Amino acid sequence: MTDNRRRVDQIQDPGFLTGIDALPIDELRSRRALCDDLDVELSYYRRMLHGRMDLLAFEMRRRAGEEEQTLLEALPRILSEGAYISTSGLPERAVSVHVPDIPSPGRRLVDHALEGSFLARLPSMSDDDLRETQAFLAEVETSVSQERRIAHTALDRLQEELTRRYRDDGADPGELLAGG
């Protein structure tokens, strides 16, 4: 399936899952790999967004007098604890230990949310800017989580079809697992 559209657009296209029971195993594996790759990318974005949300929340607490450390002093604790709790309801999958191949930054909201000068600008932002940034990051996180749900739905459906073929059609398990 060669397509120049964004991966999430390919996956949510109704034709992506239509007729999967008749697709060759190689095509099922290819589509499953596409979903897996997108899930890894979106998981990475979510972790990066959550880190920014945690830093922002700390800075807001610090300004309210609820924190005694400076942002720099608290940075290791903030990033290791991950105080932000997602409300996405997504089941967690295995955490990748490498940075995925992600598209070059562009015009997407997530690209703007993850721009590089966030940490340097944080202490000098006005309280209004902090609140606006908090709302923006929450909006982007919701969008990324919705895209991730789309990927999980497609991934689950493709995995069900592969499992069905193994169980019902006597497909070779080595063939089903090969390549992903």
**Which one-letter DSSP state was computed for residue 29?**
H
Query: Would the pLDDT of 12 be above 60?
Result: yes
Which residue, among 40, 32, 35, 144, has the nearest Cα to 97 in the 3D structure?
Answer: 40
Task: Write down the pLDDT at residue 100.
Answer: 61
Query: Would the pLDDT of 11 be above 90?
Result: yes
Please give the full DSSP string across 91-156, using - where no structure is assigned: PP-PPPSS----PPP-SSHHHHHT-TTHHHHGGGS-HHHHHHHHHHHHHHHHHHHHHHHHHHHHHH
The vertex-170 CA angle with 154 and 157, nearest 5°, equals 10
Question: How do residues 69-94 score in pLDDT, each as one tens digit?
Answer: 998 899 888 888 764 444 444 444 44
Please give the full DSSP string across 41-64, using - where no structure is assigned: HHHHHHHHHHHHHHHHHHHHHHHT
Task: Write down the pLDDT at residue 153.
Answer: 95
Number of other residues whose CB lies within 10 A of the CB of residue 145: 19
